[in-house]
Amino acid sequence: MPGQLAASRAAAQATATQQPAQPQAAPETPRPGVYLFATGGTISNRRGGRLSVDELIQSIPNLPRYVRAEGEQFSNTSSGAMTLKNWVDLARRINERLKDDQDLAGVVVTSGTDTLEELAYFLHLTVRDERPVVVVGAMRNPSTLGYEGAANLEDAFRVAAEPASRGMGALVVLNDEINSAREATKTDSLRLDTFTSRRSGILGVADNDRVVYVRKPVKRHTAQSEFDIGAIDELPRVDVILTYQGAPGDLIRAAVDAGAKGIVIAGAGAGATSGTQSDGMRYATEKNVFVVTTTRAGSGRVPGGGRGRGGYRLNGDDLQPIKARVLLMLALATTSDPAELQRILREY
- Strand pairing class (290-295; 311-315): parallel
- 42 counts as catalytic: yes
CA-based Rg of the chain, rounded to a whole angstrom?
A: 27
Sheet holding 177-180, edge to edge: 68-77, 33-40, 104-110, 133-136, 170-174, 177-180, 204-206, 211-213
Sign for the pseudo-dihedral over CA of 66, 72, 74, 80: positive
Q: Are the CB atoms for 297 and 237 separated by under 8 Å?
A: no
Kindly report the backbone phi and psi dihedral angles of residue 341, in degrees, each rounded to the nearest multiple of 5, phi listed first. -65, -40
| Strands 311-315 vs 306-308: parallel, antiparallel or unpaired | antiparallel
Which listed residue (42, 110, 113, 194) is catalytic?
42
Q: Are 310 and 285 in contact (CB under 8 A)?
A: yes
Separation CA 3–CA 182 (nearest Å) = 86
Task: Identify which of 233, 238, 245, 331 has the alpha carbon closest to the alpha carbon of residue 291.
Answer: 238
What is the rounded distance in angstroms from the CA atom of residue 117 to the CA atom of residue 294? Answer: 17
Alpha helices per DSSP H over the chain: 2-18, 53-58, 63-66, 84-100, 116-126, 149-161, 250-257, 277-286, 321-332, 338-347
| Secondary structure in 3-state letters for 48-65 | CCCCCHHHHHHCCCCHHH
Which active-site residues does the annotation give? 42
